[in-house]
Amino acid sequence: MTETCTTCPYCGVGCGVVVTEGRTGWSVGGDASHPANLGRLCSKGSALTETLRPEGRLLYPTVDGQRRPWSEAVEAVASRLQETLDQYGPSAVAFYVSGQLLTEDYYVANKLLKGFVGSPHIDTNSRLCMASTVVGHKRAFGADVVPGSYEDIELAELVLLVGSNLAWCHPVLHQRLLHAQRQRGTRLIVIDPRRSASCDTADLHLPLAPGSDVMLFNGLLAYLEQQNAISPDYLTAHVDGAEQAFATARTEAGDIATVARHCQLSVEAVLAFYQAFATTARTVTVFSQGVNQSSQGSDKVNAILNCHLATGRVGKPGSTPFSVTGQPNAMGGREVGGLANQLAAHMNPNDPADVERLGRFWQAPALRVGEGLKAIDMFRAIHDGRIKFLWVMATNPAVSLPESDMVRDALARCPTVVVSDVIDSTDTLRHAHITLPAAAWGEKDGTVTNSERRISRQRPFLPLPGEARPDWWIISAVGTALGHGAAFDYHGPADIFREHARLSGFENDGRRAFDISGLATISTTAYHQMPPIQWPVTAADPAGTARLYGDGLFTHPNGKARMLAVAAALPKEQASADFPLILNTGRYRDQWHTMTRTGLSPRLSAHRPEPLLEIHPADAARHGLEDGQLAQVHSRHGELLVRIQHSDSQRQGDVFLPIHWSDSNSAKAVVSRLISAHADPFSGQPESKHMPVSVAPF
């Protein structure tokens, strides 16, 4: 019997799993020694070995539909990329990557495109996940840092869930919260337009009007000031910008009745929330996609952070704001600069000194100052012909990006589309000129970073099937074929990890929060055995760091945090006579992304075998929609056919659809077809949770 300790590839909780090979096959259990989950698993994690099936795997490289050996496929990618460079310049080349990649894969992809091809246009599906939080954290703290640890949820006396269905989207964290509720009587307030499963144990649920979060938290900030519940000494010593933030909150939301009206809540409910926050020092605010996926996502994040800064509740045990990311390696991608507006090791693409520093470290002749195109703008640039070469890695933008018909059209028009994936039949793959078979979970070898900054190993326990190869190997092979062999001469993921760790400490005077230089000389053996560890990991803190900023020292150059004056704004599109209902989107408990993996498990698929449009019974009656009947959903971008489910968990006027189904599975319900690509002006994150639609019987 062999056992492998590895990390679950689904959500940002990053649970440790133990995979055991027995006489009858593989089994999986929670890793009791992993600090993220302490042995727990959710339904998706428990079913991991059910998804280890050979059917549907992409096993061989193809070029223009023909199977080719790796040498020819790599040469085809390199030559078409070089032709694009020669004819149109580096800005005609883009990579669209994924929070599913391991940190080592991500690092190499970013290095090749930005450093050696010379294009800044690498972005990731993490843009759809937590890009607004990145902006909010940088504005408030000076760095893209989650200050707390999961343990803080258990140490809190009050937990707020804002725009988060933790019970379904981060189930093991929810299990830890339930345990704290049982053991310590932790109070729970859920702020979410839907009455989700996370409300089952809530002391209070605020079903606020979609998009009204800034008003609600500005009201809280004004209330804290009125009640003398702020920390003046902390503000004086550690925070800039407080006066302007308080003034805006006072003017806009100084009266609870006004806030309640704007948010469509009762005055009593708003007051109960404000009183609970004001009187509970040990408060953790967990926020997620309901905050991020908005045309005002960055300001929503700062409205939340303002309240924590005003009360000095940042990075202290049981007292901190806490962003939970959707993807297994959203944070690892940010560490290596996988977003178009970041450089590796938390360096700034708009700072010439950082660009020079990174260029020198990589000895990369092509690195330029400036940001690349974020996801939506990248696909628009492909659509209008500015980008001619696209390499998609480990993601399915034809299903996941808003205005997906435009995205599919862009893919169809692009002269060269390369797709690296593990599945042979995704909607995106249909548009590929070159397909490259990548290693899947169970075969991959590297690291991921979860929502509490914990770096954790994904270890292989299966041989590579067919001719599949690790992503870092594929990218390095193309880099070598382009003539940059010395920069991509990696012999394994440990080599890449050491370089990544060395870079994090390179000329880092503390201005960059991400620092794992304490691991820069890790031996290959120690890398393979590396236990989960939270960054920063430095010579001074070789065992990692559980919390940041608890001492009031932040990453902005003057060491202070910043409160930001943020004013409430409406979502970009409102309900109308033609589109009278507001569509919200989200996840089901037992599916992951576009179901290419979880869809293989009959057990997981049994939870919700098809997508259902949830609608309040009163709205259903108004629109003549019977429970269980098929209905047509229209927005100004497209339409789809789904079954109706009456649900009084929905507010009247709102409907809900899951994100998982695609044209590659039976339901053909690509919800992103309906969604506008309105994005937050600072983060570029699209507004995926507020789209006017009509629903009519089929």
* Contacts with ligand SF4, residue ranges (CB under 6 A): 8, 10-11, 13-15, 37, 41-42, 44-45, 170-172
Which residues, other chains included, contact 540 with Cβ-Cβ below 8 Å and sequence gap of 6+? none
CA 275/CA 567 separation, integer angstroms: 22
Asked whether 294 and 679 are in contact (CB, 8 A), the reply is no
Handedness of CA 134, 140, 141, 146 (dihedral sign): negative
Write out the two tokens for 602. Answer: 């009959």
State residue 325 phi and psi, 5-degree precision: -90, 155
The string of DSSP letters for 341-363 reads T--GGG--TT-HHHHHHHHHHHT
CA 617/CA 648 separation, integer angstroms: 7
CA 260/CA 155 separation, integer angstroms: 30
Q: Which residues pair with 534 in a beta bridge?
A: 454
Instruction: Give the CA distances from residue 132 to residues 120, 137, 185, 463, in Å, rounded to whole numbers and listed in that order.
Output: 20, 9, 32, 38
Beta carbon nearer to ligand SF4, 47 or 474: 47
- Start-to-end CA distance of the chain, whole Å, equals 54
Pairing assessment for the beta strands 612-615 and 581-586 based on DSSP bridges: unpaired
Sheet holding 16-22, edge to edge: 2-7, 16-22, 25-30
Beta carbon nearer to ligand SF4, 587 or 634: 587
Helix (H, G, I), strand (E, B) or coil at 609: coil
Pairing assessment for the beta strands 630-634 and 639-646 based on DSSP bridges: antiparallel
CA 18/CA 39 separation, integer angstroms: 9
| Helical (H) or strand (E) element with 418 | strand 416-421
Beta carbon nearer to ligand SF4, 41 or 202: 41
Asked whether 163 and 193 are in contact (CB, 8 A), the reply is no
**DSSP for residue 686:** B
Beta carbon nearer to ligand SF4, 14 or 297: 14
Token pair 């960054």 is at which residue? 535
Beta carbon nearer to ligand SF4, 90 or 446: 446
CA 284/CA 156 separation, integer angstroms: 6
Taking the complex as a whole, the smallest distance from the CB of residue 397 to ligand SF4 amounts, in Å, to: 22
Alpha helices (H) in 166-296, listed in sequence order: 166-169, 171-184, 213-226, 232-238, 242-253, 256-263, 267-278, 289-292
Taking the complex as a whole, the smallest distance from the CB of residue 433 to ligand SF4 amounts, in Å, to: 34
